[in-house]
Amino acid sequence: MKKKRFKRWFVLLAALLVLFFVVPSVIHKIEQSRYPQKYSESVEKWAAEYQIDPNILYAVIRTESSFDPQAESNVGARGLMQMTEETFQWIKSKIAAQEPLEFDSLYDPDTSIRFGAYFMDLCMERYSGDLSTAAAAYHSGWGTVDGLLEDPAYTTDGVTLTEYPYPQMNRYVYKINRSYQKYVSLYGEQ
């Protein structure tokens, strides 16, 4: 009788040890596979260049293209960070005017991350470091966000958005924030 009781306690203790030590590690690995850090060399390089948290770039890439460098949206945005031709040309004039880059260059991961990091950094600066407002601007453009910031229905301070009137913008901001928080929780703040 004592042997059976000891065996049950031992099995229960072993199961609890597995539950407390192995399961969290497996869950962490599964979450990391859902929130990968692909193209980390380029992300880290351009995040450092433009002084932006790499987790923001990972969140944008995950949300925009699911890490597919050949991604193209229904409005013609291209690459990992989904940039339109108009935005590409404007950024090229700012950071790569003398380089022989074309719109198709955004299919190159390093180019897409470089241009996207530059633009996201500008959005973060323009909107006082508020990730939600910067994400809305990355998605919908400065003109749209600036217009919303003039309406007290969408802002309390005229600097950051508190409401997102368009369903697609609202979903996008939610996804960016959720992904960013997941990246921070999985990999730490950077």
Per-residue pLDDT at 24: 53
In the chain, the domains with their CATH numbers are: 1-34 (no CATH), 39-187 (1.10.530.10)
Separation CA 60–CA 123 (nearest Å)? 13
What's the pLDDT band for 188 if we cut at 50, 70, 90? Answer: confident
Separation CA 165–CA 188 (nearest Å)? 32
- pLDDT reading at 132 higher than 70: yes
Read off the tokens for 128.
């006082």
Per-residue pLDDT at 16: 53
Per-residue pLDDT at 34: 86
Mean pLDDT of the 44-70 span: 97
144-182 core/surface letters (b: 16 or more CB in 10 A; e: else): ebeebbeeeebbeeeebbeebeeeebeebbebbeebbeb
**Segment 77-128, tens digit of pLDDT:** 999 999 999 999 999 999 999 999 999 999 999 999 999 999 999 999 999 9
Q: Which residues are catalytic?
A: 64
Crossing angle of helices 109-126 and 40-49, rounded to 10°: 40
Q: What is the pTM of this model?
A: 0.86
| 3-state SS assignment for residue 151 | coil
Read off the tokens for 44.
């880290």
What is the average pLDDT score of the chain?
A: 90
Separation CA 179–CA 151 (nearest Å)? 28
